Amino acid sequence: MIVVLRSIALVGLVLVVAACSGSAVSGSPSTSAPPSTTPSATPSIIVSPTPAPVGAIDHATGATDVVLRFEQGGGFVAPAFLASQAPIFTLYGDGTIIFRNPALEGPAPVGDIYRSGPFRIARLNEEQIQGTLAMALGEGGLGAARPNYSNDRVADAPTATFTVNAGGLRKTVSVYALGIDMDGLTDALPRAAFLKLAERLGNFDQNGTIATAVYAPERYRGILLDGFGGAPGAKPWPWKDIAPSDFVAPVDPNSFQLPASVLTVAQVQALGIDRYQGGMQGATLIGPDGKAYSFSLRPLLPDDAR
């Protein structure tokens, strides 16, 4: 079940979270709308329509239409970590938001297995969608941004990527080394706006003071890499209905290119690793062919095909 966020008012293009009845709640969902224990990749609550404000920002309204997204990837990191990365924040056309605060630590490692914290999910009404888009396009700097921002003073850093499909814009803004060594750069001001936007989107629930639910998808992407040799704590191959050859890279060059397979919740649970909803890296599986494989897991979002 998707939790509806509290009202968000637009004040001078700043996203403001207004208090509801009573004091601010904790990070757990409110008792009036508890999180579902059944994984759900698509919205299940219909929000009462809210009239769009004057001068509304037009946007698609589908449950898989990406209206605003922030993700970060690349840099000098292990392939297994890259394989399990997912967008930090996504706003879909129907108001569903799925996000994860990258500043929060995930569950404690289990041997060599590192698990990421779970994504959170909630639903914005139209007024809240408008406030979020206005903040991103205005104060967040995306409306006037150019496509690319480089930084030749930094090496092996990740790239922050913002995608916006609203208000007549269909654009992607890539910012290399966002938040790193910005002093003196000619584009320091827009970078500061992008950094503030990134922090707001990743911490959309304001450190858990706005009620959200854990995002528990019905499908996951399993990524299998071979050539890793034996490892302490390696697990036996957990599936009778999946072979290593079922993990393949797609023909489409624009799609995810590492060997992967879509897994159901039951297939993920067969690994015997709990608190997996946010994804994981570092698992070693011994295949039925006797080879050792590195396995990573990434939750699939509503717009992900595989």
pLDDT tens track for 203-212: 999 999 999 9
- Give the residue extent of every domain in the chain: 3-213, 218-299
Lowest mean pLDDT among 11-25, 156-170, 219-233, 292-306: 11-25
Six-digit token pair at 86? 């997912």
pLDDT tens track for 283-301: 999 999 999 999 999 999 9
Please give the pLDDT value at position 24: 31
**Prediction pTM value:** 0.82
* Average pLDDT over every residue of 23-41: 33
From 141, 165, 187, select the one nearest 65 (Cα to Cα).
165
Q: Given pLDDT bands bounded at 50, 70 and 90, which one contains residue 232?
A: confident
Please give the pLDDT value at position 226: 84
Six-digit token pair at 199? 């922090």
From 210, 221, 154, select the one nearest 181 (Cα to Cα).
154
Please give the pLDDT value at position 160: 96
From 306, 305, 279, 301, select the one nearest 70 (Cα to Cα).
301
Lowest mean pLDDT among 4-8, 88-92, 95-99: 4-8
Q: Cα–Cα distance between 81 and 205 in angstroms, integer?
A: 25
Q: Given pLDDT bands bounded at 50, 70 and 90, which one contains residue 256?
A: low
From 234, 230, 222, 302, select the one nearest 269 (Cα to Cα).
222
Six-digit token pair at 51? 């009239």
Please give the pLDDT value at position 7: 43
Model confidence at 202: pLDDT above 50: yes
* Average pLDDT over every residue of 213-232: 84
* Average pLDDT over every residue of 137-143: 97
Distance, first Cα to last Cα, the chain: 23
Please give the pLDDT value at position 25: 29
Per cent of the chain over pLDDT 70 is: 77
pLDDT tens track for 149-171: 998 888 889 999 999 999 999 99
Q: How far is CA 205 from the centre of its chain?
A: 14
Please give the pLDDT value at position 231: 67
* Average pLDDT over every residue of 238-256: 86
Task: Give the residue with greater pLDDT, 240 vs 43.
Answer: 240
Please give the pLDDT value at position 2: 59
Per cent of the chain over pLDDT 90 is: 63
Please give the pLDDT value at position 254: 67
Give the residue carrying structure tokens 């990406």: 66
* Average pLDDT over every residue of 83-87: 84
Task: Give the residue with greater pLDDT, 248 vs 47.
Answer: 248
Q: Cα–Cα distance between 128 and 135 in angstroms, integer?
A: 11
> Across the chain, what does the average pLDDT equal?
82
